[in-house]
């Protein structure tokens, strides 16, 4: 799984280059990237093409992040993104070999969700703000002074408590 700094970077990059753009086309490179829940082991959603069709003509909203989760509105579609270990968004004219999903935008650019190991997942949400933070503690980058110690207090290995996403969202193996 990517660490919080990578996910924060992806959110910032998408916010800078994609927010406010109209979707000209949405491309399903691998329909198994669309899952019923935000996990690469969840059952595959059956309507990947229909979801992409609903994105066409929509305007991309500002991405939101909580811990290692991303969310973005694309027209009427509220999309949750789990990058997995190797997932990333790249801007390329042609589809990368490992492209699982793509957006062609009104500025002529194409953004691809590239995921060579196929650990990433996309899920349609009916409440993006709720689902991007569901079950997560406060974001590690937004903790008030002293709150980290309070959130991870207790018995057991400190690394395990730091990595518990229910306590603090976003701390991974490297940060712990």
Give per-residue pLDDT as tens, 1-33.
Answer: 678 899 999 999 999 999 999 999 999 999 999
From start to end of the chain, where are the E strands? 23-28, 64-66, 69-74, 77-82, 88-91, 99-105, 110-114, 121-125
| Amino acid 113: pLDDT | 97
| Amino acid 1: pLDDT | 61
Q: Which parts of the chain have pLDDT scores under 50?
A: none
Considering only CA atoms, which of 66, 95, 68 is closest in space to residue 5? 68
CA distance 161 to 93: 43
pTM of the model: 0.90
Please list the residues that pair with 169 across neighbouring strands.
Answer: 139
CB 103 within 8 A of CB 111: yes
Residue 6: exposure state from Cβ atoms within 10 A (0-12, 13-18, ≥19): middle
Q: What is the DSSP secondary structure assignment for residue 86, as one 8-state letter?
A: T
CB 79 within 8 A of CB 33: no
CA distance 37 to 59: 24
| Amino acid 39: pLDDT | 85
């Amino acid at each position: 799984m990517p660490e919080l700094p990578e996910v924060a970077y992806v959110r910032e990059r998408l916010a800078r280059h994609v927010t406010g753009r109209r979707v000209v086309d949405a491309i399903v490179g691998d329909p198994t990237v669309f899952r019923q829940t935000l996990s690469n082991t969840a059952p595959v959603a059956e309507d990947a093409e229909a979801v992409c069709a609903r994105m066409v003509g929509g305007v991309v909203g500002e991405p939101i992040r909580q811990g290692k989760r991303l969310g973005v509105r694309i027209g009427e579609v509220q999309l949750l993104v789990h990058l997995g270990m190797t997932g990333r968004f790249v801007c390329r004219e042609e589809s990368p070999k490992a492209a699982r999903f793509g957006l062609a935008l009104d500025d002529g650019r194409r953004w691809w969700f590239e995921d060579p190991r196929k650990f990433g997942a996309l899920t349609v949400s009916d409440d993006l703000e709720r689902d991007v933070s569901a079950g997560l503690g406060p974001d590690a980058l937004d903790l008030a002074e002293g709150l980290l110690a309070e959130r991870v207090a207790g018995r057991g290995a400190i690394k395990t408590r730091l990595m518990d996403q229910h306590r603090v969202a976003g701390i991974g193996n490297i940060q712990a």
